[in-house]
Amino acid sequence: MKVLGIESTAHTLGIGVVDEDEIHCNVKSMFEPDEGGIHPREASEHHYQKALQIINEVDQKTEFELSEIDAVAFSQGPGIQQCLEIGVVIARTLALKYSAELIGVNHCLAHISIGTRTTEAENPTTLYVSGGNTQIVEFRSGRYRVIGETLDTALGNALDKLARKLSYPHPGGPEIEKLAEKTDEIIETTYPIKGMDLSYSGLVTDMERKVGDEKDEVVANTFQEYAYSAAVEALERAMAQSQSSEALLTGGVAMNTRLREMVTKMCEERGAKAYFPPPEYCMDNGTMIAHQGLIQAKAGDRTEIEDSQVDPNWRPDEVKVSWI
Ligand code: AMP
Ligand code: MG
């Protein structure tokens, strides 16, 4: 079965094509603001302006005709409303044009399922850390359960915010990582954990206040050490509670070397295995949506056009899982 997937929840418009055996293509364009964060209207303008170009590139890269596509999957949520709207319009159009099934998928679950497709993880405890989401998710008793999550800002968003204060453009995570590598020094601040949940807004505000008084690299390193330790501590507790032997790290922040180091060490100490998808599948991409669409389509899931409206707040634990 051939499935085309469309990702458009935030900064990235991505289209991928998969079947059971192969990933046929993974094409994307990322909106990069000149200044500030992601403005919904500007990001959605980027998506509709790039749509045709990306579809044409996908057409060239797949070795079969797009008319052979059996299903078109799209990110139905969660995400930025204006950006989601562009994705669903592309999806409806292609599904009608190619007489293909339409399948709305949950973006968070797609990050997890591309993680299990591209690694040897089977039923991992997932730490999903991206620009807009920070969650620890496990599949237990028929549903994906959110075991812990940020109570305020997402980890990627907090990194981007601190980076802006340090005068770096979006996305700031890689810049904070480079700065932090220059030092081992950390200063005292608040540890951003609340039970099984995380809370990054106080930490980022405190670090923003320290900019100018402390060296940039110390601010960056302190943020990373506190923020990542707290996330890995919550992940470890979730794994201990469910006796999980697999951790999966995904989302854009999963590209971070220090965070990977911490997850690896924690898993080694517990006798568990840590899995990291290839970088192109950690960041938002259309292929993960195509793959999630594929497993749902094979289980008979379909989305009628009249049910295809987007849901910017669609939580992974609200999804009725019919495919496992
Ligand atoms: P996503 O929303 O999953 O596409 O991820 C985007 C987020 O990943 C942004 O907030 C980036 O700052 C962050 N990010 C990308 N690379 C890194 C990195 N090497 N370290 C930390 N964060 C990163
Ligand atoms: Mg994402």
Domain boundaries, the chain: 3-111+281-318, 123-276
pLDDT of residue 37 exceeding 90: no
What 3-state DSSP class applies to 216?
helix
Q: How far is the CA of 255 from the centre of ligand 1 (A)?
A: 7
Q: Do 123-276 and 3-111+281-318 have the same topology in CATH?
A: yes
> CA nearest 298: which of 103, 144, 107?
103
Please give the pLDDT value at position 182: 98
Of the listed ligands, the closest to the CA of 154 is 1
Helices and strands: H and E segment counts in the chain = 10, 12
Q: How confident is the model over 76-93, as a mean pLDDT?
A: 98
Q: How confident is the model over 21-29, as a mean pLDDT?
A: 97
Please give the pLDDT value at position 36: 85
Fold of 3-111+281-318: Nucleotidyltransferase; domain 5 (3.30.420)
Q: How confident is the model over 13-23, as a mean pLDDT?
A: 98
Ligand 1 touching residue 131 (CB < 6 A): yes
Low-confidence winner among 36-40, 125-129, 175-179, 259-263 (lowest mean pLDDT): 36-40
The mean pLDDT value of the chain amounts to 97
Kindly list the distances between the CA atom of residue 59 and the CA atoms of 20, 68, 98, in Å, as whole numbers in the listed order. 19, 11, 13
For residue 59 the two structure tokens come to: 């057409």
Q: How far is the CA of 170 from the centre of ligand 1 (A)?
A: 9
Ligand 1 touching residue 153 (CB < 6 A): no
Fold of 123-276: Nucleotidyltransferase; domain 5 (3.30.420)
pLDDT of residue 35 exceeding 90: no
pLDDT digits (tens, 9 = 90+) for 222-231: 999 999 999 9
Ligand 1 touching residue 78 (CB < 6 A): no
For residue 34 the two structure tokens come to: 């000149």
What 3-state DSSP class applies to 258?
helix
Please give the pLDDT value at position 58: 98
Ligand 1 probe mutation, 130, 178, 232, 284, most atoms within 8 A of CB: 130
Nearest atom within ligand 1 for CA of residue 171:
12
Alpha-carbon gap, residue 162 to 63, rounded angstroms: 44
Q: How confident is the model over 208-218, as a mean pLDDT?
A: 98
